[in-house]
Amino acid sequence: MDNLNLKPKIREVLRARGIDGYKFELESYLSRVKDDFSGQVDYLAFLLKNEEYASFRNYFETLGKLSRRPRVARLMAKYLMFVEGDYEQARGILAGLSQRDPMQPAWVHYFGGVRKPYYTRLHDGLLYTAIPKNASTSLKTFILRSVQKVDDSRPHEGFGNPFFSFQSYSAEELESSLKVLILRRPEDRLVSYHGKNIIGEDSLAYEYGLDSSEVPDLFGLKLQPTLEEFLDNFARYCLVFNDVFHHSLPQAAYIGDLSTYDYIYDVSEVNELVVQVGLSLGMAGQVAAEAPREMVGTRKKKELDPDITRRLKDLYSDDYAALSFASANPKLSNGVRAYAGESCTVRFLK
């Protein structure tokens, strides 16, 4: 490195020197700059991703009081869930984080046993629960293009991301705003993510600044896995790739009491939702017949092996039990019962 006091960046070093090279550079850096908390967190995360679990536990202990900081505590919770399968201990850690900081990421509240809705303000008077792979890009693009009339080339920028931080609104705004939600059949959602993001966009390689045609695997995982390979190693993929954990979280992680929403639509009805939102914002006669097509999923359904279907339905049993929306009943309304079960902390990833 040109500057020995600069922390190595994993995306840059992996391309040039691979995993071993990154580990060597990070260890060398920490031997010189011993009090860099960000570097310590990076090293702890690396040990976890690289399956050096004994070293991970030992290094966690050396951090002492720093282990109570959210970034470190979240890594330990992931270790407990994804490696040890100890959901109860992980829940205790995450519940503490959730209680101390309501702005923690959505997954922290969810696995901490807290049911609360995630909202992002799309426009004055309009709150939306943006769930990955549920056509959120289409609705955001419509708001930017047709309502705010601004550049819509990067629709997610400026709206926040529940994977990194929650958002908070006053009781008055929550009461007065239109609240909308798009839901999707859980197995369709994960299959779409695998096919479009992982395979079509090479999203796992992109997260680390790589190209799967040049580097086919990372941390012992294929960057272009088949659906079967992906599910066989699902816990590891969630641990190593933020992209997977973010897009595969149950929809239950983002919503609370469904009766508090004004409009709830299935993903196949995104056009109807866009029209309804436009009318609610006083845009009668100005709303196009169809939503922007940037991220509206195909209506063609992939035929899945029965075993894969069973595994996906079991993986998202909390979504099915709580949402009560089956493929035979895509029309959802405020009559859908709210989230109340505890099953998510013991069923997801099982």
Give the pLDDT confidence of 2-56 residue by residue, as tens digits.
566 789 999 999 999 999 999 999 999 999 999 999 999 999 999 999 999 999 9
Considering only 97-106, 135-144, 222-231, which range has the smallest mean pLDDT? 135-144
- pTM comes to 0.84
Q: Which residue has the higher pLDDT, 312 or 171?
A: 171
Per domain, the residue ranges of the chain are 120-187+250-347
Which pLDDT score is estimated for 335? 39
Give the pLDDT confidence of 213-252 residue by residue, as tens digits.
999 999 999 999 999 999 999 999 999 999 999 999 998 8
Which pLDDT score is estimated for 270? 78
Which pLDDT score is estimated for 49? 98
Q: Which residue has the higher pLDDT, 166 or 30?
A: 30
Which pLDDT score is estimated for 317? 76
- Assess whether pLDDT exceeds 50 at residue 338: no
Mean pLDDT of 201-219: 96
Which pLDDT score is estimated for 33? 94
What's the pLDDT band for 326 if we cut at 50, 70, 90? Answer: very low
Query: Which residues fall within 8 angstroms of residue 81, CB to CB, at 6 or more apart?
Result: 87, 90, 111, 235, 349
Q: Which residue has the higher pLDDT, 332 or 70?
A: 70
Tally of CB atoms within 10 A around 68: 13
Mean pLDDT of 297-308: 67
- Assess whether pLDDT exceeds 60 at residue 180: yes
